[in-house]
Every structure is written in structure tokens, then in C-alpha cells.
């Protein structure tokens, strides 16, 4: 009698642990609105999530990067400039550790947008990538017109960047890494200057990837 109740307890706790260890899902960030769709003649309400608007930018290898080139990958986006004396170096250093972890994984990309297109030309970005030890285009350093990048930051990534001549470097921008899924929805925002938050992002990227592998 005693042994069987122990057995039940054991099985029960295994069930409980199994439930707990089920992979959690990342939240979907940003605004959302209901839309009505017609499926099989019936009207159903679906949710429309905020997504990254279409863009087309050039990377350090003169390759065009747009929504289409990212359709099979999750990615991390951030904003920086190569001559930045404040938070960018630590952000690059932190992102470098995540890059090393996912190096060669075709489902993971990194996009760093320069907010100083006047100085950060393609050769400057190429040199920056080389010196950082980044090869290939898994991590792309993107150049676009100032207006389009600033608008993309604001409307797409809920991030901000602007020119400010009164601070060192001349530009200010938020230090966030934005994690974007394959459907261009933002699934996480992390302080890129904080080692712990970047470590959390690295774990969350595994969770996000597992969402696609379950199917």
C-alpha cells in the first residue's frame, strides 16, 4: 500500500515536471488589431500583429537585404554607427558573443543599421565587419538613406535614433536589440549594453527557433 502510493506520487511528479519543462513561447510585441476573415464561408475574427515594414538596404558586401532575403530566418536588429564612442562598442561586443553561438546557422541573421550614412559608407562598414571578425553576410551591416533608416527604427522597431550634435559622436540612439521572428513580428527587446539581458536573448532565440522546428 505504502509502495503504491509512493509510485503514484512519483508518476504524478514526473507528469508535473513534464508539463513545466514544455518550452514556453515568447510574447508577440507591438500593437495588434482584430481583422475579420472569411474562412469556409464563415466569418472569423483573427488578430493582425504589428510587423516590420518592407525595407531594402545595402550591406557591407554590396548585397541588397530586404524582407525577402530574410524570409526563412529569425533575426536580431540594432542601430549603431562605426565612430560611436558611447554604447556601441559594448553592444557590438555583446552581440559578437551571440553571433559566435549561432555562427553558420542559416535560420539566424543579424542586422546592424548605421544611423550615420554620411560617414559609414560601404567600405567603412566592410572594414568594421572585418575588424570585428565577422565574415559573410549572416551579420549584415546595413546602409540606407538617413530618413528611411530613422523611419524604420521608429515605425518598425519601436526604437529611436536621431542626430544630436550636443552629445559625443553626434548621434543618439537606443541600445536595444530587437528579436524578430520569420513573420517579421517583434518577439523580444533587450538592453544591448547589459550582459545578462543579452544572455537572456540568446536563450530566447533558442525558444523561438524551437517554435519552427515543432511543426
Partner 1 sequence: MRKIIILISFLALASAVFFSACVNEDSIKYQRYYSDGLQMYKDHCQSCHMDDGNGLASLIPPLSDTTYLKTNRKMLACYIVYGLSDTIKINGKLYEGKMPAEKHLASIDLAKILTYITNSFGNKQGIFDVKEIEKNLIDCSRDTTQVVSAK
Interacting residue ranges for partner 1, rule: CB under 8 A: 83, 85-87, 89-90, 92-93, 96, 128, 130-133, 168
**Residue closer to partner 1 (CB basis): 89 or 136:** 89
**Residue closer to partner 1 (CB basis): 73 or 94:** 94
Minimal distance, residue 57 CB to partner 1, in Å: 22
**Residue closer to partner 1 (CB basis): 53 or 89:** 89
CA proximity to 109, closest of 82, 81, 71: 71
CA proximity to 170, closest of 84, 78, 69, 49: 84
Minimal distance, residue 173 CB to partner 1, in Å: 14
**Residue closer to partner 1 (CB basis): 53 or 168:** 168
Minimal distance, residue 162 CB to partner 1, in Å: 20
CB 113 within 8 A of CB 195: no
**Residue closer to partner 1 (CB basis): 59 or 193:** 193
Q: How big is the chain, counted in residues?
A: 215
Strand locations in the chain (E): 32-39, 42-49, 56-58, 64-66, 74-80, 108-114, 139-142, 161-163, 171-173, 176-180, 186-191
Contacts of residues 150-156 at CB distance under 8 Å and 24 or more positions apart, as own/partner, are 150/115, 152/52, 152/53, 152/55, 152/113, 153/79, 153/113, 153/115, 155/53, 156/52, 156/53, 156/55
Minimal distance, residue 126 CB to partner 1, in Å: 13
Minimal distance, residue 63 CB to partner 1, in Å: 22
Amino acid at each position: 500500500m505504502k509502495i503504491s502510493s509512493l509510485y503514484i506520487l512519483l508518476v504524478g511528479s514526473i507528469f508535473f515536471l513534464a508539463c513545466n519543462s514544455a518550452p514556453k513561447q515568447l510574447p508577440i510585441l507591438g500593437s495588434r488589431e482584430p481583422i475579420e476573415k472569411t474562412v469556409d464561408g464563415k466569418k472569423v475574427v483573427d488578430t493582425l500583429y504589428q510587423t516590420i515594414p518592407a525595407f531594402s538596404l545595402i550591406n557591407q558586401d554590396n548585397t541588397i537585404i530586404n524582407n525577402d532575403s530574410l524570409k526563412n530566418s529569425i533575426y536580431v536588429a540594432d542601430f549603431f554607427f562605426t565612430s560611436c564612442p558611447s554604447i556601441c562598442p559594448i553592444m557590438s561586443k555583446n552581440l559578437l558573443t551571440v553571433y559566435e553561438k549561432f555562427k553558420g546557422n542559416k535560420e539566424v541573421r543579424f542586422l546592424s543599421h548605421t544611423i550615420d550614412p554620411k560617414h559609414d559608407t560601404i567600405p567603412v562598414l566592410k572594414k568594421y565587419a572585418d575588424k570585428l571578425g565577422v565574415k559573410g553576410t549572416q551579420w549584415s551591416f546595413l546602409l540606407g538613406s538617413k530618413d528611411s533608416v530613422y523611419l524604420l527604427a521608429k515605425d518598425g522597431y519601436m526604437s529611436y535614433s536621431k542626430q544630436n550634435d550636443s552629445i559625443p559622436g553626434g548621434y543618439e540612439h537606443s541600445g536595444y536589440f530587437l528579436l524578430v521572428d520569420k513573420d517579421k513580428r517583434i518577439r523580444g527587446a533587450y538592453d544591448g549594453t547589459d550582459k545578462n539581458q543579452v544572455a537572456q536573448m540568446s536563450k530566447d532565440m533558442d525558444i523561438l527557433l524551437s517554435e519552427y522546428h515543432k511543426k
